[in-house]
Amino acid sequence: MKLYFSPLACSMATRIALYEAGADAAFVRVDLATKRADDGADFGAVTPLGLVPALRTDDGELLTENAAILQYVADRSPQARMAPDDAAGRARLQQWLSFIGTELHKTVFSPLLDASAPDAARDYALKKSGPRLDVLERHIERHEHLVDEFGVADAYLVTVLNWTAVTPIDLTKWSATHAYAARVRTRPSVARAFAEESALYARARENARPATP
Ligand SMILES: N[C@@H](CCC(=O)N[C@@H](CS)C(=O)NCC(=O)O)C(=O)O
């Protein structure tokens, strides 16, 4: 398998899942600004919107979309128990993956993180953030993980919550969610992914820094 990723982007959820599964995978960094991949590929030709994650499977298929890729990785390694296999459990997982992908990632964080977003879009996203984090908080107050035990939805959520650090959202106002994020980050697969991708992120920023006059 080959994962196209960008440091600390949503693709980190798949890295966490791959580590959790102990799966063999190659990681190919994509420069999201130029759409160039480190393996020389034109990422816009790999996948038309040029969005990470994209996963090339061992059968040569290309998968896109966090929810699909995360469930694929979980289902390939059932021993890691990252996705329930009963109908009700799977529906709960789908519910949280959809919530994270649409209500948090795209509604709240995409406008807040996109430097080209107009101020009105940012204001809109901030207004939407409170009720959505409230929903999450009420669930997390009563559950250690999103679904039964640590799984791919937690990998996606901890990745997305990390972005609050560079937005005006103060996560400490949601104390259970804040504690959840800190707790999940100590899990070895998650800690390893954060350490590796934070280093790559810092190096990329260093290289992009203009020379001091
Ligand atoms: N619907 C996609 C969204 C993926 C997405 O938004 N990826 C971001 C990084 S977190 C990206 O590649 N952004 C680059 C861009 O917008 O050009 C999914 O769920 O996988």
Chain segment 28-64, per-residue pLDDT in tens: 999 999 999 999 999 999 999 999 999 999 999 999 9
Residue 26, class by beta-carbon neighbours within 10 Å (0-12 exposed, 13-18 middle, 19+ buried)?
A: exposed
Eight-state DSSP code of residue 150 = S
Any atom of ligand 1 within 6 Å of the Cβ of 117: no
Mutate to test the pocket of ligand 1, among 5, 34, 42, 51 (most ligand atoms within 8 A of CB): 51
Q: What is the total residue count of the chain?
A: 213
- The DSSP bridge pattern shows strands 62-64 and 2-5 to be unpaired
111 lines ligand 1 (CB under 6 A): no
Residue closest to 136 by CA, chosen among 88, 99, 166: 99
Asked whether 113 lines ligand 1 (CB < 6 A), one says no
My answer on whether omega of the bond before 111 falls inside 30° of 0, hence cis, is no
Q: Is the CB of 9 under 6 A from ligand 1?
A: yes
What band does 153 get if pLDDT is binned at 50, 70 and 90? very high
In sequence order, what are the beta bridge partners of 4? 28, 54
Mean pLDDT across 175-196: 98
What is the DSSP track for 27-74? Answer: EEEEETTTTEETTS-BHHHHSTT-PSPEEE-TTS-EEESHHHHHHHHH
Give me the residue label for tokens 């992009």. 208
Per-residue pLDDT band at 187 (split at 50, 70, 90): very high
Place 211 in a pLDDT band, splitting at 50, 70 and 90: low
pTM comes to: 0.97
Q: Answer with the residue of higher pLDDT: 123 or 213.
A: 123
DSSP state of 2: E
